[in-house]
Structure 1
Amino acid sequence: MVWLSFLFVVGFILIHLFSKSMKFLKVLPRSRFLSLAGGISVAYVFLHLLPELGVFQDELQGELEDSAWRFLEHHIYLIAMLGLVFFYGLEQMVKSTKRRHEKSNRQHSKDGVFWVHIGSFIIYNALIGYLLIREDYETVWGMLLFFIAMGVHFLTNDKALRATHQEEYDKYGRWLLALAILAGWGVGLLTEVNELIVSVLTALLAGGIVLNVLKEELPEERESSFSAFCSGIIGYSILLLLL
């Protein structure tokens, strides 16, 4: 399914490059589609990514006895929690630093915050590109569901990053995130990364997705649609369970 995974990579790239032009994301104060996307992403994390971490944990049993990483044999979910904490801390740092720099008008420092923020999402996207080709999908439908979940998640992330960094995101960020997906896919095509590393990065990704969804859904000023959010969770969960 290499050819299909490449088509989905192209799809991810197009989402990053052209999400700015998608008018249904510009409904104010909040697009119902973004709440629907949040529900889909949450369903994917809890019904696919987290159970997959359990599989990783079972496969690591006995292999890390003499390693500094042996605690992962029983606590891989701790890494997912640390992923949530890491991305939350990063978001708080970006917001507080951005406010301080806007008051003092220090453009160089603002640029530094942008690169730190985008750098974390480059790793995030590269892992998604890697999983697109390296994860064991039982059917074509499994890969399609992965593409749908991550595609709508990218739309949400793009909107949030553009709101935070504005011109910098459109000039540099969206291109770098698009290239990161292609780079991750290329690494997966040419080589297989150590399973321990993949399991840790997948756990971090799960925590990051949960945080990014909650960050976009919970603030009161978002006026999110609970019905759309629930529709995303229920509809996507049914698809996952049927497959």
Structure 2
Amino acid sequence: MNGTTLIGLSLASVLFLSLVHVLADMLRWKRQLPQKYWLSFADGISISYVFLGLLPKIVEGTAAFPDSLGYAAEILKHSPFLPLLIGLVAFYGMERMVEKPVDASGSHIAHEATGLRVWIHLASYAFYKAIIGYLIVQMNNPVSIVIFAISMAVHFLVVDYRMMDIHKGVYQRIGRWALTIAILVGWIVGATTVISPVVVTLLLSFLAGGIVLVVLEEEFSREHPSSFPAFVAAVAVYTVVQISI
């Protein structure tokens, strides 16, 4: 497949992903299927993609780091998941920043985060989406692009639910559109600039850390019921698909 066709496929994938947040509320099955089932299934797909899709690429990428990076290359070759850890910690910090307050009885108080914390949280997810848009352009295999797009679309449904739960009106009015534009901006940057494979690997690691954090937050949330059977079913389905490919 030539470069023009790959660019076209990546653009189609980004346009598809950009519509997920805009159309998420219109999906009929989200209203008919109990939330705990579709959320856990989406989480299972997301975490499976991290372990079976992203981590092998990260290990391969860090192993190829040039010696010209010096001591940093040595550290990353021996600790290839360090950027993943950094990404997880960074997103954890963002989540704690907008965490719902707890009353004296230990129950979460319903509220809508406001002020600077809202915009920092939205900006962090916009950066997250821009990374995804950028990474799609860097893929040179049509199958990889399609799998990545489908996996991220499912993951976006989880993010969309989470952001609506935390920010409600602000996300509905502004945040959803900001995330939609961010992924398109990321694609444009990727299509018009050349960035080192080292940076691509580091971005993959950061993305993996963010996905892991979002999944764990949802599956172990005390406020949102989850379904272990749905989670396991998703992991099994994705594993079969990955092995067959």
Say yes or no: TM over 0.5.
yes
Deviation digits for residues 163-198 of structure 1 (CA, Å, limit 9, x no counterpart): 100010011111110111111111111112122222
Equivalent residue for 2:11?
6
Q: Which consecutive unaligned segments of at least 5 residues does structure 2 have?
A: 1-5, 104-108
Report if the CA contact (8 A) 2:65-2:73 is conserved: no
Aligned to 1:71: 75
Which residue type is aligned with residue 25 of structure 1? K
Distance 1:127 1:7 in 2: 17
SS at match of 1:214: helix
Which digits, 9 at most, give the CA deviation of each residue in 1:53-79, with x for residues without a partner? 1011111052312x6565223223011
By how many angstroms is 1:21 displaced?
2.0
Distance (Å, rounded) in 2 between the aligned partners of 1:209 and 1:38: 9
- Structure 1 97/190 Cα, relative in aligned 2: closer, same or farther at 3 Å? farther
Q: Does 1:19 align with 2:19?
A: no
Matches within 5 A, 1:219-230: 219-230=221-232
Give the one of 178, 181, 184 matched to 1:182: 184
**Count of residue correspondences:** 234
Mark the CA change 1:193 to 1:28 in structure 2 (over 3 Å): closer, same or farther.
Answer: same
Q: Which moved more, 1:88-97 or 1:143-152?
A: 88-97
Q: 1:232 to 1:6 in 2, by over 3 A?
A: same
| Distance in 2 between residues matched to 1:232 and 1:151, nearest whole Å | 14
Per the alignment, residue 97 of structure 2 pairs with: 93
How far does residue 29 in structure 1 lie from its aligned partner after superposition? 6.4
CA distance in 2, matches of 1:165, 1:8: 27
2:51 is aligned, of 46, 55, 58, to 46
Match 1:60 to one of 54, 65, 80 = 65
Structure 1: which 5+ residue stretches go unaligned? none
From 137, 143, 154, the counterpart of 1:141: 143
1:127-161 CA deviation, whole Å, 9 max, x = no partner? 11111111232xx3322111110000001000100
Task: Give me the CA root mean square deviation.
Answer: 2.3
Query: Which of residues 117, 121, 124 in structure 1 aligns to 2:125?
Result: 121
**Greater mean deviation of Cα atoms: 19-28 or 197-206:** 19-28
Q: How far apart are residue 233 of structure 1 and its match? A: 0.8
Q: Alignment identity in percent? A: 36
Equivalent pair of 1:29/1:223 in contact (CA under 8 Å): no
* Superposed CA offset, 1:34-57 (max 9, x none): 111111111100011111110111
What is the TM-score with the length of structure 1 in the denominator?
Answer: 0.88
In 1, Cα distance between the equivalents of 2:34 and 2:150?
24
Asked if structure 2 preserves the Cα contact closer than 8 Å seen for 1:57 and 1:76, the reply is: yes
Q: 1:187 to 1:97 in 2, by over 3 A?
A: farther
Tell me how far apart the structure 1 counterparts of residues 22 and 49 of structure 2 sit (CA, whole Å). Answer: 24
Shift of 1:30: 2.6
Deviations 1:62-100 (A, max 9, x none): 2312x656522322301111211111121011115799x
Q: Which AA in structure 2 matches 1:72?
A: L
1:14 maps to a residue whose letter is: L
CA distance in 1, matches of 2:93, 2:160: 19
The two structures have a TM-score, normalised by structure 2, of: 0.88
